[in-house]
Structure 1
């Protein structure tokens, strides 16, 4: 795959560990719906990743897989625009993970910030396992398998993309220098034509001798524009200017997503472990009950007591769902005791119901047609395996395993 194509490919996944809620919808799914129209998207159910923390009781994974895919489709993911698949149905992920583990230094995994953070947060679980230590490398294999140029992540996940970049760089350095690499590069430069060849050599000197990053970007752009050289030659030229070999596994970029502003019903992060969620398929009655019973500013004991919206979890929801005029009405009414807490919650109930109504309808349609859901995923798995096999063929060849 060319670097130009790689840059237009996005990969993202989600662990099936329970019902999806509004935090997932606002934090991930709305972004996926947008990205599917801008990039070639591969979206997968990360069931192997779920096993790294739920290996003792995997029933929740089995129960959640199909419900999660239905929620994705209900949220607006279009199987005609994005490839949906299940990680464990593409066994090439496991092989690439194994092969990458042969050359990945142990220290790289131990220093991933989320490794220590999760061990601290999940003290009740025994996470002293090989699988848990290696899960960031499995993530790297997921990304590199599809040569995804863009990976949508929050700020707390950027370290995983950095690890993936380091793994790709090390792989290309170790295995990208095929026999006669320099001669093949020289032939590729000559095929570019005199003008482009001269410019490429000039940019090469600027980057390698002066560290000029803009020269590196310009050189990559120049190579991508070439019409009269093969994709393999392009990858050799991309790798050569960076001082490595042929780019077999392109380095991905983190596509930073805005932090989810969807708080839980109690003001903390929305999480099923806090029991403070509204799920994407909650009934109208459940939504109404949950919002009506949300905690409010403790200073408002009686209806006539003035309150402070900044101290009230309900206000955080108005910041997500309400327009400026409604927010002004809340601020004025709360501080002067002009409105009661139930009155304040009514616009939120209406907005959440309006948002969830089409999602519930689509979810009901897909839930009533499980064969359709399974066929969508089966087709996605087939497409994902085709791409994965192509990558693994080149990886095996580069590592000296192409003798079958």
Structure 2
């Protein structure tokens, strides 16, 4: 039985904007206070679409980590690291590829979708076809129980579950499992061993969920068991064999409600974004020149808020009285568009202010960021090494 653990990553492909904050980083900040979290820079994943021009990756990596810290990610609560600095990801990816049916990769919904969206790039590579497998390795290597994703990424998590299940089915056939499990039961001590057997019988014969819960709690509390024996007894309890890789579940997150300056999804490629730490004057200028309802040609022309990109930002940043004031003033031409924009401008600048302040110490002293990542990589490698030790053993690659 492994602890609840959250793993998530982002590709370093450019400057982060407020859409990233509302779409993912706010959730990461919340999760770090609730679970053990590992957040990584997915630099190998960036190469799946930018292999021909990797020049942006290193700078974008350090900028992105500063953005994470600016957004409130706390290295004392979460482990931050760079994917390529933990080579065990690549090893597990390779070993998983030995048992992964080709059809599983070809059926991933985003495979053909991304090929169509990125038609200007050469995506006829194994790296692009196999990126869901590398994505699975990124999560499975930490035996994570949860992966925060939007609806569109659920198929990827389901594939991780299938890969874990298939691997455990093929390699989780520990030799003399039952004999070793019975030896582990004895280590519980006479009274606890009898209780374990009674609860196991109640669960396996009668399907008692209460008995299962009691037995698991007893195993969690037992100080006399090694990690291997505890895991073995969990498997014996449920009628399974050895579990090497954990099946993660999708932790559904709300998709970002933050539109870009033109009303479309905020994206650097659309030229409609506001950088996470963008200069105050630049933000103000961008927002003051935002397009509004095209019906409001003159100041005296009434408008309709639902046709206006500014109104979409009011929905995110303004309280109910402010929204009522903006809607009524727009429809009656009682206020001008610049007046309508000002509360949103003020709210965006207020949101960014602590981010700029938190980022400044890392901009002044980049060695702080390097130290955080070095520490995170060390912690991540220790966890990854534990998993790979077990993976190599069951695949006959331990060579002791």
The alignment's TM-score, normalised by the length of structure 1, stands at: 0.93
Bigger shift: residues 279-288 or 362-371:
362-371
The aligned residue for residue 65 of structure 1 is 61
The aligned residue for residue 354 of structure 2 is 358
The aligned residue for residue 201 of structure 2 is 201
- Structure 1 residues 40 and 299: CA distance shift in structure 2, 3 A: same
The aligned residue for residue 121 of structure 1 is 117
Residues 65-89 of structure 1: per-residue CA shift (max 9 Å, x gap): 1111111111111111111110001
The aligned residue for residue 148 of structure 1 is 144
Distance across 2 between alignment mates of 1:222 and 1:254: 28
The aligned residue for residue 27 of structure 2 is 31
Give the conservation status (yes or no) of the 8 Å contact 2:28–2:73: yes
Distance across 2 between alignment mates of 1:44 and 1:72: 10
The aligned residue for residue 326 of structure 1 is 322
**How many residues align structurally?**
396
The aligned residue for residue 248 of structure 1 is 244
1:234 aligns with 2:230: yes
Q: Aligned match of 1:276 in 268, 272, 275?
A: 272
- Residue 372 of structure 1 and its aligned partner are, at CA, apart by 1.2
Q: What runs of 5+ residues in structure 2 fail to find an aligned partner?
A: none
- Residue 290 of structure 1 and its aligned partner are, at CA, apart by 0.9
Residues 27-61 of structure 1: per-residue CA shift (max 9 Å, x gap): 11111111111111111100000000111111121
The 5 A counterparts of 1:167-206 are 167-188=163-184, 191=188, 192-206=192-206
- Structure 1 residues 334 and 14: CA distance shift in structure 2, 3 A: same
- Structure 1 residues 195 and 218: CA distance shift in structure 2, 3 A: closer
1:20 aligns with 2:16: yes
Bigger shift: residues 157-166 or 343-352:
157-166
The aligned residue for residue 400 of structure 1 is 396
The aligned residue for residue 155 of structure 2 is 159
The aligned residue for residue 78 of structure 2 is 82
1:111 aligns with 2:75: no
Give the conservation status (yes or no) of the 8 Å contact 1:177–1:244: no
Residues 241-268 of structure 1: per-residue CA shift (max 9 Å, x gap): 6654211111112111111111111111
Give the conservation status (yes or no) of the 8 Å contact 2:200–2:211: no
Bigger shift: residues 178-187 or 233-242:
233-242
The 5 A counterparts of 1:246-325 are 246-325=242-321
The aligned residue for residue 379 of structure 2 is 383
The alignment's TM-score, normalised by the length of structure 2, stands at: 0.94
- Residue 201 of structure 1 and its aligned partner are, at CA, apart by 2.3
Q: What runs of 5+ residues in structure 1 fail to find an aligned partner?
A: none
- Residue 233 of structure 1 and its aligned partner are, at CA, apart by 2.9
- Residue 240 of structure 1 and its aligned partner are, at CA, apart by 4.5
1:10 aligns with 2:6: yes
Give the conservation status (yes or no) of the 8 Å contact 2:199–2:211: no
Give the conservation status (yes or no) of the 8 Å contact 2:200–2:212: no
